[in-house]
Amino acid sequence: MDAHITSPHKGAKGLLNRFLAGHLETILAIPGSKMYRRFVRATHRVAATQAGVLQDILDYAGDTVFGREFGFKQIKNWEDFRQRVPVGDFEDHRPYVDRHVAGEEGVLFPGKPLMFNRSSGTTMKPKLIPVTPYNYQRTIKDRGKLWLYGLSRNFPGIYKGKSFSVVSPSVEGHTPGGTPYGSLSGVVREGIPEFMKLTHAMPYSTTLIEDYDAKVYTMLRFGVAADVTVIFTGNPATVLNLVTKADAWKEDLIRDIRDGTLNKKLPVDASIRSEVEQLLVADPDRASMLDRLASSNDTLRPADYWPNLGLIHTWKNGNTRLVIPKLGPWFAETTPILDFGYIASEIMATDLMDPDTDGSILQIQNAFYEFTAFEQDDAPDRDYLLTHQLEKGKRYYIYVTTFSGLYRYDMNDVIEVIGHFNEAPIIRFLFKGKGITSLQGEKLSEEQFIEAVRRASDATQTQHDFFIGYADAKISGYKLYIELLEDYAADHVARFERAVDEALSLVNIEYEAKLKSQRLKPIEVIHLGKDFFPRYRALRLKEGTHDGQIKWLHLSGTAATRDRIERLEREIC
């Protein structure tokens, strides 16, 4: 997993790799079609397939600390499993995960994890989601073959040029037990065959550049110079930022493409720069074409410099759906945008997409799933359903049991069933559940938000009382509505805003990443008067809430919160 660039395009081996890279669609069809037929057969018998997966997980983890504690070896069916094992979130799993983090083996699963997929948690500590060697071999390593094959069935020709694929570093550090943690997307990217690395527009090393603008520029230096035919990235805000930056930096990019260079002013680590520059070539013809495009148009658009682009594969649901229309002016009207599927740090729950519905087919072979009806919310007597019991048009909370040690794990996600592929549900992610907001995948919890405001208040000596944070999807940023107890000058409020962002970045690593990459706007502090809470209370009473039942979240992204705040804002205007 070290930063390393091979040279798979020299000599006889390089010739073979280039040949294979040029026939990727045909090559993927060999294992992909076999995996596809196997999956189709499973979708005709969803109940039996899921029962088999559950039994495999119980057998695999039966002789572990968790397995012995909950009697996995005595469990015969799902009813037994449901009775013995409670539903839990990451904080319920954390004590067991922490033992693996420290180096202990056989706690949640046999042996030690291959790596930890790092993500933000609901407390001050980030989540380290274990990935077991067995799970990697069984469900992750070959996933790309089925996924990419499925895309080529619906979008033939997308592999004729280069792919612009954005991933995160595979290794960001190591646990006390010596296990690496980072991004699973980076691990998968590094593990692909050498010939497939030739199909990527930029090398993996670009991912390791620490300065964000330098990283983006280097990616664009490779991407704008190439014939990109497919874009892969989970977040459409990333796509929007990339194409906007390409236009803003067009003069420097065109110069570097003409000269075969990488801007010397960029703060890029010397070793990474050396590796990257070995792969750059001067392309005066491409530069001249780009120069003509830039001169004849107000904006340098990918619709012009990537005319063969056949697919943008990115998230379209949840809050990201608000970004999709902003891509329109940059790309050709005929360029399809397909949803990325239901993928999270805990699980890759879908491999095959359904362009007709813009949903994704639940991968029933790789994990065990349970659901509760959205309408039941957190009712203590809510009914748990299995995959084959889901109905089209209904919304559900989803719980997963995996080969990486998550058992009846509450994803706190709401999905909608929008159709069926044979018996398997076609799903669409809608939004996060209670207590968490996620505009760009940051998964910010109320606890984290409260702590960040406290830290910022202490750091800037800002006295305040009642406050509510609102996740504003329209601007892709957070607003802090607060009752300030003194008449602070504008520069003091600005320092407080910066302090809140700094604190949020400390308690939530994903917030820091999204803020640094400009996918999230800096937080905006809005003073709602020294009587904010009395007016809020009066509004809730007017709505019909009983005095003793008035509750609120200090962080929310709901329409109800927005409407209440807007009413209170109008009162002080």
d(CA 368, CA 386): 9
d(CA 222, CA 262): 10
Which pair of tokens denotes residue 196?
């497939």
> Which amino acid would we find at residue 188?
V
- 451: CB partners within 8 A, 6+ apart: 124, 503, 507
Domain spans of the chain, in order of start: 45-136+341-432, 154-169+184-338, 436-572
d(CA 281, CA 298): 28
Q: What distances in angstroms separate CA 81 from CA 70, 76, 201, 350, one per listed residue?
A: 9, 8, 47, 24
Q: Measure the N-to-C terminal CA separation of the chain; round to a whole number of Å.
A: 56
Nearest 5°: the CA angle 77, 79, 80 is 70
DSSP H stretches of helix in 354-428: none
Backbone angles phi, psi at 129, to 5 degrees: -85, 115
Output the pLDDT for position 283. 97
Residues of the chain predicted below pLDDT 50 = 1-6, 549
* The CATH number of the domain covering residues in 45-136+341-432: 3.40.50.12780
Give the SS3 label for residue 311: strand
Which pair of tokens denotes residue 43?
């979708």
- How would you class 419 by CB atoms within 10 Å of its CB: exposed for 0-12, middle for 13-18, buried for 19 or more? middle
